[in-house]
């Protein structure tokens, strides 16, 4: 395992291919400091003695080498691994107050580990061996990876092969003796400018005309032909008054302008039916990660609401307690459903454990449809101050500070400095560039609620529920009643 300073050093050595605000910038440019600090936390949490008791959650034993590795690089070998991944996600998100940025990588490696094995079984290819060889180095070097799944997609109702421009979905444009060349662009790719690898995989089910779009591979972020057009944001917290961070995000439109990928890093190439399975499986793993990060985000918002109530002297009011209980129900329902998804996991042919489809999707959908409501509760209890809080410089200016100390005072049990710190932080998490991004991420990251609905309805046996109703109504039903879960994960890939 490496330290955060080694991670930062690696970033500083990467080839310049990041564009932001009209300029070509370095991978460790100060505008991305917030996002870099987030990824650094995934290394620092392991080395921080405060988290010693969580070592089993934050690290794992590699099934390939037997060595201790960062759990973000691990392939789930058991139900316990899935539960640990969920806990690690919630714990690490708490440290940065939002997305932890490495779950895309762990979810993409797990999906690849399952599907590469299945493709080989059907076609006699050697994707799984290649994938494991690449993974060994990835684990050994404690690397980070973004997952580039979402294609730019052009006109939504049209399939990849129906688009006016075939590059609107990433596809293979040339096959050479030593590898393939891919072209296209992926969008919203989180943390990609400040991670080392991009794992490219398909975004949707594919038809038999769509073999060239069925591609999965690993590409160094600074590879020739890769260009990243980045949008980054930062939480402007009160650093001068001791707040950690700053933390932030960096999402990119990633362009693959005829990028060569050697065979050693190609994990799917043309087997279209497995392209769709890989897309769905990555989404499934990612929604399971959301059963850790969404509760963490709700914990942050619940804590912020309680803190605002205390600052305002209203923490004992009945409506405040009712709203806090509502938020707790959202976080714990999502988390509990994630636990159920792990407990009902099944072992795939490769040995990798796959979480339950219905429970993962129910959790992710529930979190997605509640996200704006949580911000609604926070802003209700906070009042308007997070929106109009005077700048930190005015709090520190001796001329204006006495007035702010006098007129910003609220609950006498909370010091004026803590009132300032609390409102500054709540402004950052609820009323900033990054807060807007977190809200959109809460809806669409890992798939929009509509996609979860499709997954739920595709796996849930509504007929069985109808039969329960029919029996109770006295309508004859064929077959014997047997108690069974209604959303059964099939013993296959889909």
Ligand X SMILES: Cc1cc2nc3c(=O)[nH]c(=O)nc-3n(C[C@H](O)[C@H](O)[C@H](O)COP(=O)(O)OP(=O)(O)OC[C@H]3O[C@@H](n4cnc5c(N)ncnc54)[C@H](O)[C@@H]3O)c2cc1C
Q: Where are the beta strands (DSSP E) in 225-371?
A: 226-234, 248-262, 266-269, 346-347, 353-354
We find the least distance from the C-beta atom of residue 369 to ligand X, in angstroms, to be 13
Tokens of 51: 């988290």
Which residues on adjacent β-strands are paired with residue 198? 146, 219
- Our finding on whether 441 is near ligand X (CB under 6 A) is yes
- Helix 433-444 / helix 272-311 crossing angle, nearest 10 deg: 130
- Our finding on whether 277 is near ligand X (CB under 6 A) is no
Q: Which of 8, 153, 205, 470 binds ligand X (CB under 6 A)?
A: 153
Q: Which of 110, 112, 144, 190 binds ligand X (CB under 6 A)?
A: 190
- Helix ranges (H only) for 431-494 are 433-444, 449-459, 462-473
Stretch that binds ligand X, among 45-53, 77-85, 353-361, 442-450 (CB under 6 A): 442-450
Count of residues of this chain found to bind ligand X when the rule CB under 6 A is applied:
22
- Our finding on whether 240 is near ligand X (CB under 6 A) is no
We find the least distance from the C-beta atom of residue 93 to ligand X, in angstroms, to be 14
- Our finding on whether 444 is near ligand X (CB under 6 A) is yes
- Our finding on whether 447 is near ligand X (CB under 6 A) is yes
- Our finding on whether 448 is near ligand X (CB under 6 A) is yes
We find the least distance from the C-beta atom of residue 174 to ligand X, in angstroms, to be 24
Q: Which of 76, 87, 130, 188 binds ligand X (CB under 6 A)?
A: 188
Give the span between the Cα atoms of 261 and 182, in whole angstroms. Answer: 8
Give the span between the Cα atoms of 81 and 57, in whole angstroms. Answer: 8
- Our finding on whether 101 is near ligand X (CB under 6 A) is no
- Please identify, using beta-carbon distances, which residue of 226 and 422 lies nearer to ligand X: 226
Q: Which of 104, 115, 170, 341 binds ligand X (CB under 6 A)?
A: 104
We find the least distance from the C-beta atom of residue 315 to ligand X, in angstroms, to be 32
- Please identify, using beta-carbon distances, which residue of 148 and 206 lies nearer to ligand X: 148
- Our finding on whether 150 is near ligand X (CB under 6 A) is yes
User: By CB under 6 A, what part of segment 119-148 binds ligand X?
Assistant: 146-148
CA-wise closest residue to 236 among 440, 378, 435, 417: 435
- Please identify, using beta-carbon distances, which residue of 73 and 189 lies nearer to ligand X: 189
- Our finding on whether 157 is near ligand X (CB under 6 A) is yes
- Please identify, using beta-carbon distances, which residue of 114 and 148 lies nearer to ligand X: 148
Binding mask 449-478 toward ligand X (x if CB under 6 A, else -) reads -x----------------------------
We find the least distance from the C-beta atom of residue 485 to ligand X, in angstroms, to be 27
Stretch that binds ligand X, among 17-25, 50-58, 149-157, 324-332 (CB under 6 A): 149-157
Tokens of 177: 């003796």
Q: Would you say 217 and 34 are in contact if contact means Cβ atoms under 8 Å apart?
A: no
H-helix or E-strand spanning residue 245? none
CA-wise closest residue to 97 among 236, 192, 240, 196: 236
Per DSSP, the three-state class of 364 is: helix
We find the least distance from the C-beta atom of residue 448 to ligand X, in angstroms, to be 5
For 477, how many CA atoms within 13 A lie in the half-sphere containing its CB? Answer: 16
Q: Which of 21, 156, 208, 316 binds ligand X (CB under 6 A)?
A: 156
- Please identify, using beta-carbon distances, which residue of 149 and 269 lies nearer to ligand X: 149
Per DSSP, the three-state class of 179 is: strand
Stretch that binds ligand X, among 268-276, 388-396, 436-444, 473-481 (CB under 6 A): 436-444
> Strand 171-175's sheet: what is its strand order?
23-25, 18-20, 226-234, 248-262, 179-190, 171-175
Tally: H helices and E strands in the chain: 16, 14
Q: What phi, psi does 460 have (nearest 5°)?
A: -100, 140
We find the least distance from the C-beta atom of residue 461 to ligand X, in angstroms, to be 24
- Our finding on whether 88 is near ligand X (CB under 6 A) is no
User: Measured at the alpha carbon of residue 236, what is the angle toward residues 235 and 241, in degrees to the nearest 5?
Assistant: 125
- Our finding on whether 439 is near ligand X (CB under 6 A) is no
- Please identify, using beta-carbon distances, which residue of 3 and 439 lies nearer to ligand X: 439
- Please identify, using beta-carbon distances, which residue of 389 and 431 lies nearer to ligand X: 431
Classify burial at 104, counting beta carbons within 10 Å of its beta carbon; exposed 0-12, middle 13-18, buried 19 or more.
buried
- Our finding on whether 207 is near ligand X (CB under 6 A) is no
Sign, CA dihedral 284-342-299-234, equals negative
Which residues on adjacent β-strands are paired with residue 175? 180
Q: What phi, psi does 19 have (nearest 5°)?
A: -115, 130
Residues written for the chain? 494
- Our finding on whether 251 is near ligand X (CB under 6 A) is yes
Stretch that binds ligand X, among 33-41, 226-234, 375-383, 444-452 (CB under 6 A): 444-452
- Our finding on whether 25 is near ligand X (CB under 6 A) is no
Which residues on adjacent β-strands are paired with residue 268? 216
**What is the binding site for ligand X (CB under 6 A)?**
104, 146-150, 153, 156-157, 188-190, 251, 437, 440-441, 444-448, 450
């Amino acid at each position: 395992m490496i330290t955060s300073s080694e991670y930062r050093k690696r970033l500083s050595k990467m080839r310049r291919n990041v564009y932001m605000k009209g300029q070509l910038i370095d991978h460790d440019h100060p505008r991305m400091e917030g996002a870099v600090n987030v990824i650094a936390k995934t290394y620092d949490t392991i080395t921080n003695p405060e988290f010693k008791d969580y070592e089993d959650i934050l690290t794992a034993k590699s099934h390939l080498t037997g060595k201790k590795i960062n759990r973000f690089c691990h392939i789930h070998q058991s139900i316990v691994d899935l539960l640990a991944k969920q806990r690690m996600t919630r714990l690490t998100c708490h440290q940065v107050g939002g997305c932890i940025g490495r779950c895309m990588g762990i979810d993409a490696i797990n999906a690849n580990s399952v599907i590469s094995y299945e493709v080989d079984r059907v076609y006699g290819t050697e994707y799984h061996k290649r994938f494991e060889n690449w993974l060994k180095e990835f684990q050994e070097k404690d690397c980070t990876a973004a997952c580039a799944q979402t294609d730019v997609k052009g006109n939504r109702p049209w399939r990849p092969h129906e688009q006016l421009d075939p590059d609107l979905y990433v596809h293979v444009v040339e096959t050479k003796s030593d590898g393939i060349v891919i072209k296209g662009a992926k969008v919203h790719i989180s943390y990609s400018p400040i991670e080392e690898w991009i794992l490219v995989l398909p975004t949707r089910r594919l038809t038999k005309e769509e073999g060239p779009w069925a591609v999965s591979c690993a590409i160094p972020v600074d590879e020739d032909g890769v260009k990243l057009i980045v949008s980054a944001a930062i939480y402007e917290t009160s650093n001068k008054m001791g707040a950690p961070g700053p933390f932030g995000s960096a999402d990119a439109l990633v362009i693959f302008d005829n990028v060569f990928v050697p065979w050693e890093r190609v994990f799917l190439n043309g087997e279209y039916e497995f392209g769709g399975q890989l897309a769905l499986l990555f989404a499934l793993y990612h929604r399971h990660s959301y059963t850790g990060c969404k509760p963490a985000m709700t914990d942050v918002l619940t804590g912020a609401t309680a803190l605002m109530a205390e600052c305002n002297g209203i923490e004992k009011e009945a409506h405040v307690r009712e709203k806090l209980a509502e938020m707790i129900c959202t976080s714990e329902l999502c988390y509990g459903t994630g636990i159920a998804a792990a407990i009902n996991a099944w072992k795939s042919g490769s040995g990798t454990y796959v979480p339950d489809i219905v429970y993962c999707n129910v959790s992710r959908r529930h979190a997605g449809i509640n996200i704006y409501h949580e911000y609604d509760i926070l802003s209700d209890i906070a009042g308007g101050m997070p929106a109009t809080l005077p700048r930190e410089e005015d709090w520190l200016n001796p001329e204006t500070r006495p007035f702010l100390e006098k007129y910003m005072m609220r609950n006498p049990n909370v010091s004026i400095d803590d009132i300032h710190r609390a409102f500054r932080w709540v402004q950052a998490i609820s009323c900033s560039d990054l807060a807007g991004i977190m809200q959109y991420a809460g809806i669409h990251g890992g798939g929009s609620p509509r996609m979860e609905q499709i997954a739920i309805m595709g796996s849930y046996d509504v007929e069985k529920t109808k039969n329960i109703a029919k029996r109770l109504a006295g309508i004859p039903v064929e077959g014997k009643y047997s108690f069974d879960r209604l959303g059964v994960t099939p013993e296959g890939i889909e």
